[in-house]
């Protein structure tokens, strides 16, 4: 009797979900199993039922990224960012999609927004080299420094961790020294060896 009641309550909770949410959750489950094609089909069905279904938008964008479909990824993730303007991870993934699509300025704008919202995963920022086309942009260097400081790590990849990492790239000038908060001497990298008390 108790099992039947528990099963009925669980079914009532799951069955009460809107169809779009059920499709999106099914897509997440397929993605966890490694079946990206089926996951994408579920996400597409969820979006056909509700074009603003957040789980489906975000995860379909990630699936498109994984499949090398960068323009489609950027479209889905841009819509997600419109609906969730304060989601740092959403803006970060949008920046990745835009960088991979070959759109450096929009990628930089999305990355800036992610950092403004508190993005702090340095490993995710530099781990796959997606942002290499932005290395020559001083704004990118400042964002990488901010994320490294926020994460509490010494830059070890990306433009700041590369050999001669205090430059903007091959053939460019060296970054000027900057005084970081509570630093006693000018620093170009923002690492622990810069004279922080």
Q: How many independent structural domains does the chain possess? A: 1
**pLDDT at site 92:** 98
**Would 194 be classed as within a structural domain?**
no
The answer to whether the CB of 166 falls within 8 A of the CB of 177 is no
The predicted model scores a pTM of 0.73
Domain that holds residue 21: 10-67
pLDDT tens, 107-132?
999 999 999 999 999 999 998 899 99
**pLDDT at site 188:** 40
**Would 104 be classed as within a structural domain?**
no
**pLDDT at site 163:** 53
Task: Give the CA distances from residue 187 to residues 12, 16, 174, 178, 182, in Å, rounded to whole numbers and listed in that order.
Answer: 60, 57, 12, 5, 11
CATH number, position 43 = 1.25.40
**pLDDT at site 16:** 60
Q: Which residues in the chain come in under a pLDDT of 50?
A: 5-6, 8-9, 12-13, 165-197
């Amino acid at each position: 009797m108790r099992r039947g009641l528990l099963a009925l309550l669980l079914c009532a909770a799951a069955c009460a979900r809107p169809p779009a949410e059920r499709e999106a959750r099914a897509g997440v489950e397929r993605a966890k199993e490694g079946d990206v094609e089926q996951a994408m089909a579920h996400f597409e069905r969820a979006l056909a039922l509700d074009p603003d279904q957040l789980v489906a938008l975000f995860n379909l964008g990630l699936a498109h990224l994984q499949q090398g479909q960068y323009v489609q990824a950027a479209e889905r993730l841009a819509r997600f960012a419109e609906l969730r303007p304060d989601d740092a991870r959403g803006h970060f993934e949008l920046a990745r999609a835009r960088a991979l699509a070959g759109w450096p300025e929009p990628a930089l704008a999305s990355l800036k927004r992610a950092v403004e919202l508190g993005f702090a995963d340095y490993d995710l920022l530099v781990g796959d080299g997606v942002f290499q086309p932005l290395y020559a942009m001083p704004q990118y260097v400042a964002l990488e420094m901010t994320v490294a400081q926020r994460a509490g790590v010494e830059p070890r990849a990306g433009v700041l961790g590369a050999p001669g990492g205090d430059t903007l790239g091959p053939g460019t000038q060296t970054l000027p020294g900057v005084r970081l908060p509570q630093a006693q001497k000018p620093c170009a990298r923002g690492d622990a060896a810069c004279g922080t008390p």
